[in-house]
Amino acid sequence: MFSGILFRSGFNGYRSFLPFDLIQAFGIDISALSKKENLFLEVYICAHLLFLLYFRCLYLMNDYQFSQLLNHFGLSWDGYRKVRKGVKKRIRRHMHQMGCKTMQEYLAALDQDKEAGSHCELLMTVSVSRFFRDRGLWEILESEILPAIILKNKEAVKCWLAGCACGQEVYSLKIVWDRLGGRNKRLPALEIWATDMNPDYLDKARTGVYHRSSLREAPQALRDIYFESHAKGQFFAVRDTVKKGIFWQVHNLLSDPPATDFQLVFLRNSLLTYYQDELKAPAFEKVVESLDQDGFLIIGAGEKLPSGSRGLLPFAGHPCIFQKEA
């Protein structure tokens, strides 16, 4: 409605400074108005626009204010730098709902209201992901890592995808495992723990329907086998056979792992990206402890292990893969 604000003149010999997109939206015929009516309408609409602008400014959030919120939860500026626009929008909406006009008021309200604080933490979560993100990693996983795990674990394999967001990497792992099953007579039972602190993300993951942009790194052959196309190819639904054997669970990465003795843990673009060192280091230590002997840890591209981390050896084939020392 407010796009392309134009300024024109000449109506009844009077210069008008009204936003014409807005006037047209109201269906007003300015040419039929008197000079006095035109002036009254102009003042009224401009006052309304100023009110909207003032109201919006009350809830604008600059980077300094956003960094105050991040520090409140022990979150990292570097991790949120590229995604802060969308997160800020959600937080501004929450501030408005709570009637808080400043960050100081908002932080005080979060401290006083536990439920509001928990809701704010969920608003801070980020769900950016896609199928087979970093294709080279998945190729090594299929050709080297999973065969090595299967060789040592004949009966069962446990995997944990920590901070799994909307489940793209969970299903990517299931697809790779299924492909391995087509080349082997017998695979161990696969047990996947898929966790995230945001229950809305897990609900979407269970549903398993994704926009086509999430599959841009998935080869067409895999799309044909493991997905069903909907809405003329705009969305793809994971087939029911891929959904079996996955335990979806709400879990905060700062708490204890959901289980132990995992042969494979995905910790990509979650704990190591979004948390400050003071919280990251002890939580990461628990993740390493949850690995089985010789278990593998996979982190995100551009991420690095916390300073002073012990018990992991880099895997020669890929900089994002580590193996627990025996």
pLDDT (tens digit per residue) in 45-58? 776 666 555 445 44
| pLDDT range class, residue 96, cuts 50, 70, 90 | very high
Rounded CA-CA distance 230/226 in Å is 13
The reported pTM is 0.82
In a 3-state reduction of DSSP, which class is residue 237? strand
Is the domain 135-324 a CATH 3.40.50.150 member? yes
User: What is the pLDDT at residue 317?
Assistant: 87
**Number of C-beta neighbours around residue 43 at 10 A:** 11
User: What is the pLDDT at residue 51?
Assistant: 56
User: What is the pLDDT at residue 226?
Assistant: 98
Q: Is the pLDDT of residue 8 over 60?
A: no
Widest CA span in the chain: 89
Identify whether the C-beta of residue 195 lies closer than 8 Å to the C-beta of residue 287: no
Tell me which residue of 285, 284, 263, 260 sits closest to 272, measured CA to CA. 284
| pLDDT range class, residue 231, cuts 50, 70, 90 | very high
User: What is the pLDDT at residue 50?
Assistant: 62
User: What is the pLDDT at residue 53?
Assistant: 53
Reading the block at residue 71, the tokens are 């520090």
Domain limits of the chain? 8-58, 63-123, 135-324
CA distances from 252 to 69, 196, 236, 238 (A): 19, 7, 29, 26
Q: Is the pLDDT of residue 59 over 80?
A: no
Q: What is the mean pLDDT of the chain?
A: 88
Q: DSSP secondary-structure letter at 212?
A: G
Q: Is the pLDDT of residue 7 over 80?
A: no
The pLDDT tens digits of the residues spanning 166-221 come to 999 999 999 999 999 887 668 999 999 999 999 999 999 999 999 999 999 999 99
Could you give the percent of the chain with pLDDT greater than 90?
78
Alpha helices by DSSP H, 124-219: 135-140, 146-152, 168-181, 199-207
Q: DSSP secondary-structure letter at 167?
A: S
The pLDDT tens digits of the residues spanning 62-73 come to 999 999 999 999
Rounded CA-CA distance 68/75 in Å is 10
Q: Is the pLDDT of residue 6 over 80?
A: no
| pLDDT range class, residue 10, cuts 50, 70, 90 | very low
Residue 306 main-chain phi, psi, to 5 deg: -60, 150
Rounded CA-CA distance 120/116 in Å is 6
